[in-house]
Chains A and B, each alone.
Chain A
Amino acid sequence: MESISPLYSTPTAAKQRYSPPWADLSIIGIAGSSGSGKTSVAMEIVKSLNLPWVVILVMDSFYKSLTPEQHAVAHRNEYDFDCPDSLDFDVLVQSLKDLKQGKKANIPVYSFAHHQRQPQTTTLYSPRVLILEGILALHDPRVLELLDVKIFVEADMDVCLGRRILRDVRERGRDIEGIIKQWFTFVKPSFTKFVEPQRGISDIIIPRGIENTTAIDMVVHHIQGKLDEKSEKHSEDLRKLGQIALELELSSNVVVMAQTLQFVGINTILQNPETEHVDFVFYFDRLASMLIEKALDMTIYVPVDIETPQNTSFRGLHPSGTVSAVAVLRGGSCLETALKRTIPDCITGRMLIQTNARKEEPELHYLKLPNGIEEHATVMLLDPQISSGGAALMAVRVLIDHGVEQHRIVFVTCAAGKIGLKRLSTVYPELKVIVGRIEEEREPRWMERRYFGC
Chain B
Amino acid sequence: MAHEGAESIIPSPAQGVGPLYQPDGEKPTATVSKDMPYDNVHVLPQTPQLIALLTMIRDKKTGRADFIFYSNRIIRLLVEEGLNHLPVVEQPVTTPVGRTYLGVKFEGKICGVSIMRAGEAMEQGLRDCCRSVRIGKILIQRDEETCQPKLFYEKLPSDISNRWVLLLDPMFATGGSATLAVEVLKEKGVPEDRILFLNLIASPSGVADFAKRFPKLRVVTAFIDQGLDDKK
Q: Which B residues from 90 to 130 make CB contacts under 8 A with A?
A: 91, 93-97, 99, 101, 103-106, 128-129
- Please indicate the chain B residues that have their CB under 8 angstroms from the CB of A444 in the complex: 97
Residue B1 lies at the interface, judged by CB distance under 8 Å to chain A: no
B: interface residue count bin: 35 or more
Residues of A within 8 A of B104 (CB): 261, 264-265, 268
In Å, the complex CA distance between A352 and B205 comes to: 55
Say yes or no for B170: interface residue by CB 8 A criterion.
no
In the complex, the chain A residue whose C-beta lies closest to that of B19 is: A298
A301 adjacent to B48 (CB under 8 Å): yes
Closest to B18 in A: A301
B8: interface (CB < 8 Å): no
Chain B positions 73 through 84: 1 when the CB is less than 8 Å from some CB of chain A, otherwise 0:
100110011011
With A261-B88, A312-B227, A315-B31: A304-B105 Cβ-Cβ less than 8 Å? no
Cβ-neighbour of B29 out of A303, A306, A443 (below 8 A): A303
B103:A314 contact, CB within 8 angstroms: no
**CB–CB B55/A282 < 8 A:** no
Question: B158-196 toward A: CB 8 Å interface, digit per residue (1/0)?
Answer: 000000000000000000000000000000000000000
With contacts A268-B104, A296-B49, A298-B21 taken as known, whether A314 is within 8 angstroms of B84 at the C-beta atoms is no
Q: Does A156 contact B (CB under 8 A)?
A: no
| Chain A residues with a Cβ closer than 8 Å to the other chain, count | 51
Is B133 positioned at the interface, with any CB of A under 8 Å from its CB?
no
**A297 in contact with B19 (CB, 8 Å):** yes
Contact B51 A310 (CB under 8 A): no
* Per-position binary interface string of chain A over residues 434-454, scored 1 when its CB falls under 8 Å from any chain B CB and 0 otherwise: 000000100110100010000
Determine whether A192 belongs to the interface, using a CB cutoff of 8 Å to chain B. no
CB neighbours of B19 from chain A (8 A): 297-301
A-B pairs under 8 A by CB, number: 142
Does residue B147 face the partner (Cβ distance < 8 Å to A)? no
Please classify the interface of chain A as helix (H, G, I), strand (E, B), loop, or mixed, using the class held by over half of its residues.
mixed
How far is B105's CA from A262's CA once the two chains are assembled, in angstroms? 9
Tell me the residues in window 261-287 of chain A with beta carbons closer than 8 Å to chain B beta carbons. Answer: 261-262, 264-265, 267-268, 271-273, 282, 286
Most B CB contacts (10 A, CB to CB) among A273, A301, A306, A310 go to A301
A317 and B83 within 8 A (CB): no
**Contact, CB under 8 Å: A265 / B227:** no
Which of these, A310, A319, A440, A450, contacts B99 with CB under 8 Å? A440
Given A262-B84, A268-B101, A446-B96, 15 more A-B residue pairs with CB atoms under 8 Å apart are A268-B91, A271-B101, A293-B77, A296-B49, A296-B52, A297-B48, A298-B21, A299-B19, A303-B29, A303-B30, A308-B227, A312-B227, A316-B54, A317-B28, A440-B99
CB pairs A–B below 8 angstroms (11 shown): A253-B21, A261-B84, A265-B105, A272-B95, A273-B96, A293-B73, A303-B28, A307-B61, A316-B30, A318-B52, A443-B97
Q: Which 5 A-B pairs have the closest CB atoms?
A: A268-B103, A316-B55, A312-B227, A306-B59, A271-B95
